[in-house]
Chain A
Amino acid sequence: MAEKKLALIATKGTLDWAYPPFILASTAAALGYEVQIFFTFYGLQLLKKDLNLKVSPLGNPGMPMPMGMDTWMPNIVTALPGMEAMMSAMMKSKMKSKGVASVAELRDLCLEAEVKLIACQMTVDLFDMQPAEFIDGIDYAGAATFFEFAGESDVNLFI
């Protein structure tokens, strides 16, 4: 059986949305898939050496909060200074207590499993980001490179 292939596009740079691409990529690799992830726009945050990812309840009515705050607290309160940092810290500690891997850990597992990580060169230039900000071992390329792999992949997902 020929090796199956998974192509992902990661477009989001928040703590919660960092999980789907790295969970799917690492699991697929464990199942024997060859995997590439193309990181574009805010997804580039997931390739930073210093992963300082945050999650915000602001504008996200689907986010469960402690003490049922998502049901009685007006959403505008979540816009107050410090709320984002507080919610991010709470989410991280919740994840740790539930045995959920950290984003850095999942990313390391992806690298170990030879998942190919590609940073969108256009977005890197657009945001004036420097290669020194990113982890080693990644490629810089564009949409055509993505299609070279995606065109022959069994599964393609945009996240």
Chain B
Amino acid sequence: MPDFTEKFDATGLNCPLPILRSKKVLSSMNSGEVLYVIATDAGSVKDFDSFCKQTGNELLESTEADGQYHYYIKKT
């Protein structure tokens, strides 16, 4: 599990809120810092992957455990 700077709990939120709110948190962070997001929206797996590809941020890790999805995003 990577170290993280900020944590955002997106559990219970549905598309597109996990992405939109995570983006907001990322905007307040510095380059090189890592955001840890927890979500329950199954569609967010592909969405976070896609979000990172398009915005140039690095998706360090994307895992699922007990119906929860964990993302570690490094801001570029």
Contact = CB atoms under 8 A, between A and B. Distances in A.
Given A26-B20, A27-B20, A99 B55 contact: no
Interface in B13-48: 13-17, 19-20, 23, 40-41
A30, A31, A32 pick with most chain B CB within 10 angstroms: A30
Nearest to A112: B24
A109 interface: yes
A145 B14 CA distance: 34
A27 B19 contact: yes
Tell me which of B23, B40, B41 has the highest count of chain A C-beta atoms within 10 A of its own C-beta: B23
A106 B16 CA distance: 9
Contacts of A27: 16, 19-20
Q: How big is the B interface, by class?
A: 10 to 19
A58 B37 CA distance: 41
Given A31-B54, A32-B54, A32-B55, A100 B14 contact: yes
Contacts of B23: 30
A129 interface: no
Contacts of A32: 54-55
Interface in A29-77: 30-32
Interface string A104-121: 001001000000000000
A124 B73 CA distance: 44
Given A31-B54, A32-B54, A32-B55, A109 B14 contact: no
A99 B20 contact: no
A30 B20 contact: yes
Nearest to B10: A99
Contacts of B54: 31-32
A31 B48 CA distance: 11
A147 B74 CA distance: 38
Q: Which of B16, B40, B41 has the most CB of A within 10 A?
A: B16
18 contacts: A26-B16, A26-B20, A27-B16, A27-B19, A27-B20, A30-B19, A30-B51, A31-B54, A98-B14, A99-B12, A99-B13, A99-B14, A99-B17, A99-B41, A101-B13, A101-B17, A106-B16, A109-B20
Interface of A: 23, 26-27, 30-32, 98-101, 106, 109
